[in-house]
């Protein structure tokens, strides 16, 4: 069997095996991943829906507290006519409410926007019991005597100027309007709009149902076993036969602590996972024509490469038998044709090489002198680039305005650094924030310098001008912007950066952090806190699925900060410096201990100690990497 047949069979075999393997792996993994993503997405939508409910109820409590604080209601001398007029004004402002009533402390209805049951004492139903027990603001779903249907009751106690309870204001909203206020339920393209929805109280009683309105306030949820599974599930959903159930818990919103309500969604598995079945069919339909084309390409490649090699092998066998006049004819311009031409020229060119060597040495001397001059020019240009890079670093006066105690240790390995720091003050929504970033770009010298200037400009655009105050969102957008600016999807440029980004809310004493392969250290008295970044690099080319999964690991980490907290951001250059007697890395453990030991000193002294320790460890050895360490004290 000659090489032509072997290569043909090999190409076809590889095409068939690769195609079948790729389809099987892609189908299995994509199905599983897609189902997980769909489930996770729906869980997130359920949580968002529950959060929307909590936010809506919080806003209604704010409404009722605002109404209860109205001077007319707090005035014991106000007439029923005045109270009624003021209630009508509030009803015109908020169209959500079907009616608003004012009661005295004995439950006697003094005024009502609908004019119903004036002068009558209200039944002692649940929300009145809770008010009598001392609660000053109440949310309750129950039957309304005045509207003769199930409604949301929002009640708040009215107090006079002395703080004495003198009445209660109650607003009512129809339960069937609940569906309108939730965007995830009312949007037709949202999958939640196709599901059955139940809202339960802590006892499992139906407060709302989009498919069983007659059971509201009358029935309990009839799938207690499913409910137990959902409560014990860490995933937030449970599959029972051909039905999927999703659970969202009432967690409250801001000052509203919640009612311990449960929101349950259910739908057939076929509806929820319909996209995965469609994806499998598309994969199969696309794989067949691709496989056929790949087989044809394989046959063409086998023929293209095998025939010239067979012809060349026949000619070489003739030369081996002593036929030096054998002509080697190859109709090819690739490596095989190049080999034939060089084989014939090899003997003829050998005698010429010695003469050419002397001339080459002379040319090498001239070229060496030219290279030395070019090196001098390049070094001068790089030194000027270093001045430009330092000029683009932020002005320390901005940092000094907010932090009187700080330090920045900035030691490029080459003239231009691949590490950079960035900070700026951001004013947004009436508040001042301060953002700080320390980044380690791919490479050193000029390539790293270009990346550092690109990263600094993009951070200014995203934070200072874009007002993005979530570190994880900023890093995700920075990743996308670097890919766009460097056209990385097209030219396969792998450059990127590791970065630690913090945004400080000095008024609220909050620190928001996100990092790509970089942590931050916080020293508080004798306590040490390390916030780790996600295992992801910002920028660079990776497979879509890998990148998507890694980018999903980016998250904001929030910590309360205290006065005198010491915060350090840094690249890995300090800990990776080779030195010592055994020429080993300084190590992250030694770096962390050094910072801990000097934590109580002024930061300018800490910088001197860091610099001296680094120089002693490095000794006569070359600096391994760019070094950047930045510390601030709150």
| CATH number for the domain that contains residue 113 | 3.30.450.20
Q: Is the pLDDT of residue 40 over 80?
A: yes
| Stated pTM of the model | 0.44
Portion of the chain with pLDDT greater than 90, in percent: 43
- Same domain, yes or no, for 488 and 367? no
Contact residues for 626 (Cβ-Cβ < 8 A; gap 6+): 411, 412, 413, 417, 418, 419, 440, 444, 448, 571, 573
Q: What is the mean pLDDT of the chain?
A: 85
Does residue 182 fall inside a structural domain?
A: no
Q: Which of 150, 177, 204 is the last residue of a domain?
A: 177
On whether both 475 and 387 belong to a single domain, the answer is no
Measured CA to CA, the distance from residue 227 to residue 245 in angstroms comes to: 9
- The answer to whether residues 78 and 125 belong to one domain is yes
Q: Nearest 5 degrees, angle CA 508-CA 251-CA 247?
A: 145
Each residue of 416-431: pLDDT tens digit?
899 999 999 999 988 9
| Banded pLDDT at 273 (limits 50, 70, 90) | confident
- Which of 146, 177, 208 is the C-terminal boundary of a domain? 177
Q: Is residue 234 part of a domain?
A: yes
pLDDT score for 347: 44
In 3-state terms, what secondary structure has residue 39?
Answer: helix
Question: Does residue 621 lie in a domain region?
Answer: yes
**75 and 102 fall within a common domain:** yes
Q: Give kind and range of the element (H or E) at residue 19.
A: helix 3-68
Do 27 and 163 sit in the same domain of this protein?
no
- Residue 241 shares a structural domain with residue 97: no
Q: What is the mean pLDDT of residues 242-263?
A: 87
For residues 521 and 444, state if they share a domain.
yes
Here the CATH number for the domain that contains residue 429 is 3.60.40.10
* 3-state per-residue secondary structure call for 214-248: HHCCCCECCCHHHHHHHHHCCCCEEEECCEEEEEE
Radius of gyration in angstroms for the set of CA atoms belonging to the chain, rounded to a whole number: 37
CA 480 to chain centre: 12
Whether residue 449 sits in one domain with residue 406: yes
Q: Report the distance separating Cα 453 and Cα 461, nearest Å.
A: 12
- Structural domain that includes position 209: 46-58+188-274
**pLDDT-wise least confident of 44-53, 135-144, 340-349, 581-590:** 340-349
Q: How many distinct structural domains can be found in the chain?
A: 5
Please indicate, yes or no, if residue 550 is contained in any of the structural domains.
Answer: yes
Mean pLDDT comparison of 84-98, 202-216, 266-280, 533-547, highest-scoring range: 84-98
Q: State the DSSP H helix or E strand holding residue 142, giving kind and residue range, or none if neither.
A: strand 137-143
- Same structural domain, 401 and 386: no
Last residue of a domain, one of 285, 311, 337: 311
CATH number of the domain at 200, please: 3.30.450
593-618 pLDDT tens trace: 999 999 999 999 999 999 999 999 99
Separation of alpha carbons 575 and 356, rounded Å: 51
């Amino acid at each position: 069997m000659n090489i032509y047949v072997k290569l043909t069979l090999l190409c076809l075999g590889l095409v068939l095996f690769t195609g079948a393997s790729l389809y099987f792996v892609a189908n299995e993994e994509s199905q599983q991943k897609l189902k997980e993503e769909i489930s996770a997405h729906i869980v997130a939508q359920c949580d968002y829906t529950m959060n929307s409910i909590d936010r809506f109820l919080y806003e209604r409590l704010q409404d009722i507290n605002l109404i209860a604080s109205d001077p007319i209601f707090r005035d014991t001398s106000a007439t029923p006519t005045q109270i009624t007029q003021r209630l009508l004004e509030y009803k015109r402002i908020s169209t959500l409410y079907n009616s608003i009533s004012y009661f005295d402390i004995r439950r006697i209805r003094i005024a009502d926007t609908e004019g119903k049951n004036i002068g009558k004492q209200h039944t002692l139903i649940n929300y009145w019991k809770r008010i009598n027990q001392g609660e000053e603001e109440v949310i309750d779903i129950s039957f309304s005597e005045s509207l003769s249907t199930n409604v949301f009751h929002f009640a708040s106690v009215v107090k006079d100027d002395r703080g004495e309870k003198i009445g209660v204001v109650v607003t009512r909203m129809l339960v069937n309007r609940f569906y309108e206020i939730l965007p995830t339920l009312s949007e037709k393209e949202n999958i939640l709009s196709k599901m059955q929805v139940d809202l339960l109280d802590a006892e499992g009683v139906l407060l709302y149902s989009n498919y069983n309105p007659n059971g509201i306030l009358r029935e309990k949820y009839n799938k207690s076993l499913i409910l137990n599974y959902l409560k014990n599930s860490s995933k937030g959903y449970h599959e029972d036969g051909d039905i999927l159930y999703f659970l969202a818990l009432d967690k409250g919103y801001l000052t509203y602590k919640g009612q311990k309500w449960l929101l349950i969604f259910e739908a057939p598995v076929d509806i929820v996972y319909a996209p995965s079945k469609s994806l499998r069919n598309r994969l199969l339909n696309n794989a067949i024509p691709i496989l056929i084309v790949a087989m044809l390409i394989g046959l063409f490649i086998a023929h293209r490469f095998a025939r010239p090699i067979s012809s060349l092998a026949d000619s070489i066998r003739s030369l081996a038998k002593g036929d030096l006049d054998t002509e080697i004819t190859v109709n090819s311009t690739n490596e095989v044709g190049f080999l034939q031409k060089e084989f014939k020229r090899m003997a003829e060119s050998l005698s010429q090489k010695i003469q050419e060597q002397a001339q080459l040495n002379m040319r090498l001397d001239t070229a060496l002198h030219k290279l030395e001059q070019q090196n001098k020019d390049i070094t001068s240009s790089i030194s000027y680039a270093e001045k430009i890079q330092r000029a683009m670093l932020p002005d320390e006066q901005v940092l000094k305005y907010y932090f009187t105690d700080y330090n920045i240790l900035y030691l490029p390995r080459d003239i231009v650094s691949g590490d950079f720091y960035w900070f700026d003050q951001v004013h947004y929504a009436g508040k001042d924030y301060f953002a700080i970033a320390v980044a380690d770009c791919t490479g050193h010298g000029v390539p790293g310098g270009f990346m550092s200037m690109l990263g600094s400009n993009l951070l200014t655009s995203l934070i200072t001008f874009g007002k993005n105050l979530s570190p994880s969102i900023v890093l995700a957008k920075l990743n996308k912007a670097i890919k766009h600016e460097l056209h990385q999807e097209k030219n396969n440029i792998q450059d990127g950066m590791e970065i630690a980004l913090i945004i400080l809310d000095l008024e609220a004493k909050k620190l928001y952090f996100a990092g790509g392969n970089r942590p931050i250290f916080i020293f508080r008295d004798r306590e040490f806190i390390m916030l780790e970044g996600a295992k992801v690099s910002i920028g660079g080319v990776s497979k879509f699925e890998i990148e998507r999964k890694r980018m999903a690991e980016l998250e904001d980490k929030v910590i309360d900060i205290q006065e005198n907290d010491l915060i350090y951001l840094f690249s890995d250059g300090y800990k990776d410096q080779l030195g010592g007697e055994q020429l080993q890395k300084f190590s992250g453990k030694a770096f962390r201990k050094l910072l801990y030991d000097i934590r109580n000193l002024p930061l300018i002294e800490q910088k001197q100690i860091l610099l001296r320790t680094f120089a002693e460890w490095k000794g006569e050895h070359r600096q391994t990497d760019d070094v950047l360490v930045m510390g601030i004290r709150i």
